[in-house]
Amino acid sequence: GAGVSQSPRYKVAKRGQDVALRCDPISGHVSLFWYQQALGQGPEFLTYFQNEAQLDKSGLPSDRFFAERPEGSVSTLKIQRTQQEDSAVYLCASITSSGSGTQYFGPGTRLLVL
Amino acid sequence: GNSVTQMEGPVTLSEEAFLTINCTYTATGYPSLFWYVQYPGEGLQLLLKATKADDKGSNKGFEATYRKETTSFHLEKGSVQVSDSAVYFCALTGALNTGNQFYFGTGTSLTVIP
């Protein structure tokens, strides 16, 4: 596709539910990032993939958060037993391997946990 | 650690006014610096970037100069338009030992009134 796409765009979950957020990066982009953006804040790094390998997951806030990219393209961010503090916009970004440094962002998934 | 500090908003300007949004950074190594813009309901879009000291990034009338001596990357535009109303994020990447991870400021909301 022309850009990074994410689904769903909006998700409402009851506290304790599991959710799965999907990211389709730009075709051919090797690296993929997940960020969490709280209301009124800048995006904060969660995790990073190069192809199917998860090279950095230092930003995941708890072991309830899990991300995967099994075939090196589409990625899923899963949040288990959601809590109200998980409410945020979850952004996905991809980057070529060219080293230009520019990340291309998807529109985000807005998660609201009630 | 690596961080970005940008001017707090919100900023409200009249059309054709001069815009400055301050951004300073702390980073090890030689990062690349970026301004991203987020229009209402949309994802982050790259506005401009600079990859080394004294480089000037420019796009759509906006510009910012990478100043290593003052660790700054202030965003400027000579004459803003209503369509420039958005949230602006300063960011860096490529700091030492951080790979492609981005560090974002908290964002500055700009509203331009006719």
Q: Show the beta-strand stretches assigned E in chain B.
A: 3-6, 11-14, 19-21, 23-26, 32-38, 44-50, 56-59, 62-65, 75-77, 86-93, 102-104, 108-113
Which residues of B lie inside 8 Å of A (Cβ-Cβ)? 4, 32, 34, 36, 42-46, 49, 51, 89, 91, 93-94, 99-107
- Give the pLDDT score at A98: 56
Mean pLDDT of A84-112: 87
CB spacing of B43 vs A108 below 8 angstroms: yes
Q: What percent of chain B is modeled with pLDDT above 70?
A: 97
Residue of A nearest to B42 (CA): A107
pLDDT at A102: 79
Residue B41 — φ and ψ, nearest 5°? Answer: 75, 5
Alpha carbons A42 and A31: distance in angstroms, whole number: 21
- Closest listed residue to residue A90, CA positions, set A2, A8, A3: A8
* Mean local confidence (pLDDT), A71-89: 96
pLDDT at A1 over 90: no
**Residue B29 pLDDT:** 83
Q: How far apart are CA A110 and CA A76, in angstroms?
A: 15
CB pairs under 8 A between A and B: 59
- Residues 6 or more apart in contact with residue A54 via CB below 8 angstroms: A47, A48, A67, A68, A69
Q: Is the pLDDT of residue A95 over 70?
A: yes
Banded model confidence at residue A100, pLDDT cuts 50, 70, 90 = low
pLDDT of A99 strictly over 70: no
- Residue stretches of chain B with pLDDT short of 50: none
Contact list, A107 vs chain B (CB under 8 Å): 42-43
Residue of B21, B33, B44, B51 for testing the chain A interface, max A β-carbons within 10 Å: B44
> In chain A, what percentage of residues exceed pLDDT 70?
95
pLDDT band at A11 (very low <50, low <70, confident <90, very high): very high
What is the model's pLDDT at position B43?
Answer: 84
Note the pLDDT of residue A67.
Answer: 97
